[in-house]
């Protein structure tokens, strides 16, 4: 509302010298101007209008957003323990002695000293071995 009153006042101040110069009475009417009064009225009206327009908005500050802090995670002690793991290990190639009976007996427990044998090459390979590893106790975050 204050802005509308200021604009109406400015327009009125600018229109008054124009009406006076149209009748031929006010100020210097030489080169088609409005005279000195019109100049000052325009100067004052421009100052008022500039002041009104420059203060058109009052700053409005919004409240700060709420900050949420999550609770810290819970610290839990995990005691030490043994863990069974399977590890792959390389078994290098080697020669083995394979024995077999001369008579064709399938009884492997009986060895009369007359059995025959031969050497067989067993190539290298990976095998999985079961091992137990100690895992020391430590703190752990949960939550």
Q: Tell me what pLDDT residue 139 has.
A: 94
Among the ranges given (47-56, 100-109, 126-135), the one the predictor scored with the smallest mean pLDDT: 100-109
Mean of all residue pLDDT scores within the chain: 78
- Structure token digits, residue 109: 């427990």
Residue with the larger pLDDT of the pair 74 and 112: 74
CB 132 within 8 A of CB 63: no
Q: Tell me what pLDDT residue 129 has.
A: 92
Tell me the mean pLDDT in the region 77-104.
88
Question: pTM surpassing 0.75?
Answer: no
Residue with the larger pLDDT of the pair 98 and 103: 98
Q: Report the largest interatomic distance among the alpha carbons of the chain, rounded to a whole angstrom.
A: 154
């Amino acid at each position: 509302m204050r802005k509308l009153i200021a604009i109406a006042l400015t327009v009125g101040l600018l229109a008054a010298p124009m009406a006076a110069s149209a009748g031929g009475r006010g100020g210097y009417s030489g080169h088609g101007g409005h005279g000195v009064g019109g100049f000052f009225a325009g100067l004052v009206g421009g100052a008022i209008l500039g002041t009104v327009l420059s203060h058109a908005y009052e700053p409005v500050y919004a409240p700060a957003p709420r900050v949420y802090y999550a609770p810290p995670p819970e610290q839990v002690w995990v005691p030490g323990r043994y863990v069974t793991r399977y590890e792959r290990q390389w078994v290098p190639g080697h020669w083995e002695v394979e024995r077999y009976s001369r008579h064709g007996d399938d009884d492997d427990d009986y060895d009369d000293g007359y059995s025959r044998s031969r050497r067989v090459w067993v190539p290298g390979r990976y095998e999985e071995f079961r091992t137990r590893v100690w895992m020391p106790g430590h703190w752990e975050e949960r939550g």
